[in-house]
Amino acid sequence: LLPGCELTASTKSYTFQVDEEDDSDHILALSVVCLSDGAKDECNVVEVVGRNHENQEIAVPVANLKLSCQPLLSLDNFKLQPPVTFRLAAGSGPVHLSGWHRIMHREDASFEVDDDLSDED
Sequence letter at residue 38: G
List the domains of the chain with CATH numbers. Answer: 2-105 (2.60.120.340)
pTM of the full predicted structure? 0.76
* Integer CA distances (angstroms), 49 to 82, 109, 113, in order: 10, 33, 45
* Integer CA distances (angstroms), 4 to 47, 55, 89, 116, in order: 15, 26, 18, 54
Per-residue pLDDT of the chain (121 residues), as tens digits, is 456 789 999 999 998 877 766 667 777 888 999 999 999 999 999 999 987 888 888 999 999 999 999 999 999 888 887 888 999 999 999 999 998 877 776 664 444 444 454 455 4
Residues, the chain: 121
CA dist 19 and 88 (Å) reads 25
Residue 22 is given by DSSP the state -
Residue 112 is given by DSSP the state -
Res 8: pLDDT: 96
